[in-house]
Structure 1
Amino acid sequence: MDLDVTARLKGTRTRYIVHEFFTNTFHYPLASIILELLLHDALSYLYEIDPYVIISAAVIQAMFYGSWLHRGLNRQFVGNLIAPAIYTLFEVSLEGMEFFESPHHIAYWGFAIAIGITQQVRDGTANEELHDAMIMLESVVRTCIFLALYMILEVLKDGYSSYGEFMASASHQFVVMVIPLLGMVFGFANINTERYHNVLMRTAQQLREYSEWFLGTDLLSKAVNNPEVLSLKRHERSMVFTDIRGFTRWSETRSPEEVVAVMNAYYEAAEPVWVKYQAIKVKLTADEIMLVFSSPEAAAEAAIAMLEAVRPLLEIHGLGVGTGIHTGPVVEGVMGGNARKSYDLLGDSVNTAKRLCDNAELNEILASTDMYYVLGSDYLFGNQREIEAKGKAEPVKVRPLFRGLISNDVV
């Protein structure tokens, strides 16, 4: 399922359908209906089924074509032929082949084919110049819809016998010259609009990616719809802290590039774990990984899975990790000054989880007694012991966590 932020950037299926209807599909039917109203008695024409058939055909095309565009399917040529096909089939069933004696019925197919070709080539080419040329050509073709139907109206009403006779009128010359030029102007405007839109979309995608790095996917999605989720509030959270034992000493004899390569591999090995168990917050600080979860079960399963994921990688370099897990109240939300803020959480529960991590032995997961009581007998713990934790007046009781639930699907 797409994230809400992704859907907001891309647009909904309904928006695509509505956009397709008003920017493409309905243009010719609208001009054709106006032509019919001017050629016949307007009131009697509105009582006929014809205008409602052509509008319904346009709606059906917009629904199919708009849905295809929303799904990223390149069916522009076929998409533009849906409405004229439906309209033609219905009218031929009523009028027979006399339907094709009306020039504007033939023109419907001509413009649908022309627009379909320009759109198919436009979206199917990687050549920027050809892409822009197709936008320009489509705009000219689209404005010529009204020119063509205007000429048909004049010929049918006033009975011009030739194109030369039609063009003898200065007003006709004006219309024939101005409308295609307006199409070119609209084409330039559409090219600039599309380029600007593409820049905005690329920028929005980059900002989304950067935001996900700091907020996480789930939190960003929620914050887009409801900014209040970022306000400071008290929550019950479960924290996992993991850091590499002996990392500072190990890195002293390695090049910065080698250290960075190992760190990135370490993070990449751990990432599927925090994604699977839906960490609310992920904080990477040098060799330390901090994960925050909404449930103790998710935190415990993630701690076990992460140890299994990073241990083979680190053992190659003679390294290992220590892990601490704790659950309790925190204050969570956006904090900072006026110019710089970050989403974080504070409280003694966070400090406790960090101290447990500091005191964990190599490849050991230390759980607080709060975590032990919450998780119950479904998890395998070792014997209780006490540790001296920095900043704590009394020794902290802990238990090593050896095994989680038989099912690893807790989220």
Structure 2
Amino acid sequence: MTPTVASSPAISSDPALTHDLSPPPLGLAFRREFLSNSGHFLILKSLADIALYGWRGFVTDPTEYLLIGAMLLQTLYLSRPHPSRFWGNLMGVSLYTLIDLPVDGREFFESPSHGVFWLFSLAIALLQSSRYHWRPQWERWTLPLESVVRMLMVLLFYLVVRAGDQSSQLMNWQWLGQFADENTHFFLMTSLMLVGLLLGMHQLQIVRQQRQLQQTTVLLQNLAEWGLGSHAVMTAVNHPERLAFQQCDRAIVFMDIRGFTHWSEHTDTETVAATLNHYYQQVEPAVSQHHPLRITFTGDEIMAIYASPQQALAAAQAMQQAAAPVLQPHHIGAGCGIHYGTVVEGLFGGDSVRTYTVIGDVVNTAKRLESATPAGEITISDAVYQALHQRVAVKQSHNLNLKGKTEPLTVWRVA
């Protein structure tokens, strides 16, 4: 085979379709957690304290600043990847209790706002633990219920403010009954619960759409990597201008099975297919571990593009080690050739089909080096040998007459 521009799909170094996307930056995750969860406790309790004690009492109370610090620590913890939602949601209220209890003493337990704070912290901790850890399949129930609970938190803090200094009334069922009997309060309670339910159902829809979008994104990313290679995909995302044609130095590795066509003619199709697939499965990880810019499979031929000759040689040696156990039982082997030099790199193709690859004399020469290499051997050009500062064990050098070349090419056989 003598193709110089490979067009078959490259195989991603991570072929799984279900791997997670990268987590959001810490700053974004912190803001998201504060605005959607931890900040609710801080804002409602602070507003309740301002309503009860006034702005002067709020800003001069050191425990209020301790609460801010505790809730920021909770937000920071819950912003990390895979936190414990149960203990994380209890972190703020626990730290606040440990710090404020010695200051307020017995009065700490007499404050209804503290009881509301603990009650709803525990409720949210249980609901989020169920949704994230214990029973993810219950999400359709726990997420709307969590939204309703948050609205009930608003209602209870309102009751705390309404009771004022007569906080004991919160435990008086007669007073609570009278409160609920008032038309305005009945409207407030039912409205909050219904709005919470609607917001929860809307949030559930958003979460499911985001999850579906993430799965689609992962699938499209993998399909793009299979077709273009991970290097091209990352370049398109981060530096799209670099997809234009550009000259750069690249090391090209070709590996081809010697006598594969003749062996295939005398072997049943199932064995050929199974052997070739096994060959790909063993060699591809060896290629990928040295960070190729592009991998291409064409029949029994493998082409890999590397940024440096060091990577290319290490990959070729690993490829030979991986291929030998697969091919030797069938009395066949693979030859490998490496050349290094300036190529033209970029997106090649028409309007409908394009591939990210390299072209140029370096590619053609690497292919011809591979064609002239016996099974189980690696041939490198003198350009590769010199780029490695001659620090590679070689058997011998000889001049090779290549098609299209006016002068013989000095090549080296790796020991």
Fold match (TM-score > 0.5): yes
Letter in 1 for 2:27: T
Q: Give the corresponding residue for 2:409.
A: 397
Letter in 2 for 1:301: A
Identify which of 223, 230, 234 aligns with 1:210. 223
Distance 2:202 2:264 in 1: 57
**CA displacement, residues 220-239 of structure 1 (integer Å, 9 cap, x when unaligned):** 44543222333321111111
Distance 1:205 1:316 in 2: 38
Identify which of 99, 103, 119 aligns with 1:110. 119
**CA displacement, residues 367-394 of structure 1 (integer Å, 9 cap, x when unaligned):** 223223333432233444444433x042
Gaps of 5+ in 2: 1-13
**CA displacement, residues 74-115 of structure 1 (integer Å, 9 cap, x when unaligned):** x11111111111222222221111011121110100000001
Aligned length: 393
Normalising by structure 2, we get a TM-score of 0.87
After TM superposition, list the pairs within 5 Å mapping 1:44-59 onto structure 2: 44-59=57-72
RMSD: 2.4
Partners of 1:379 and 1:401 within 8 A in 2: no
Letter in 2 for 1:244: I
Q: Give the corresponding residue for 1:350.
A: 363
**CA displacement, residues 47-91 of structure 1 (integer Å, 9 cap, x when unaligned):** 322332222211011112222xx1x24x11111111111222222
After TM superposition, list the pairs within 5 Å mapping 1:348-387 onto structure 2: 348-387=361-400
Partners of 1:323 and 1:365 within 8 A in 2: yes
After TM superposition, list the pairs within 5 Å mapping 1:313-328 onto structure 2: 313-328=326-341
Q: Give the corresponding residue for 1:406.
A: none
Identify which of 297, 305, 320 aligns with 2:318. 305
After TM superposition, list the pairs within 5 Å mapping 1:2-21 onto structure 2: 9-21=22-34
Q: Give the corresponding residue for 2:290.
A: 277
Q: Matched residue of 1:100: which SS?
A: helix
After TM superposition, list the pairs within 5 Å mapping 1:9-408 onto structure 2: 9-67=22-80, 70=81, 72-73=82-83, 75-125=84-134, 128=137, 130-156=138-164, 162-217=175-230, 220-390=233-403, 392-394=404-406, 396-403=408-415
Larger deviation: 346-355 or 270-279? 270-279
**CA displacement, residues 223-281 of structure 1 (integer Å, 9 cap, x when unaligned):** 43222333321111111111111212222344444333212221222223222322222
Residues 257, 137 of structure 1: alpha-carbon distance in 2 compared, 3 angstrom cutoff: farther
Gaps of 5+ in 1: 404-411
**CA displacement, residues 334-368 of structure 1 (integer Å, 9 cap, x when unaligned):** 22223322111111111111111122223232222
RCO higher in 1 or 2 (8 Å CA, sep ≥ 6)? 2
Residues 208, 256 of structure 1: alpha-carbon distance in 2 compared, 3 angstrom cutoff: farther
Larger deviation: 230-239 or 173-182? 230-239
Residues 203, 256 of structure 1: alpha-carbon distance in 2 compared, 3 angstrom cutoff: farther
Normalising by structure 1, we get a TM-score of 0.88
- C-alpha displacement at 1:219, in angstroms? 5.2
Q: Matched residue of 1:377: which SS?
A: coil
Distance 1:287 1:167 in 2: 79
Q: Matched residue of 1:266: which SS?
A: helix
Partners of 2:397 and 2:413 within 8 A in 1: no
Distance 1:306 1:272 in 2: 9
Q: Matched residue of 1:273: which SS?
A: helix
Distance 1:45 1:382 in 2: 83
Identity %: 31
Larger deviation: 7-16 or 200-209? 7-16
**CA displacement, residues 188-221 of structure 1 (integer Å, 9 cap, x when unaligned):** 1111111111111111222222233344445544
Letter in 2 for 1:29: L
Residues 8, 379 of structure 1: alpha-carbon distance in 2 compared, 3 angstrom cutoff: same
Partners of 2:231 and 2:294 within 8 A in 1: no
Partners of 1:367 and 1:398 within 8 A in 2: no
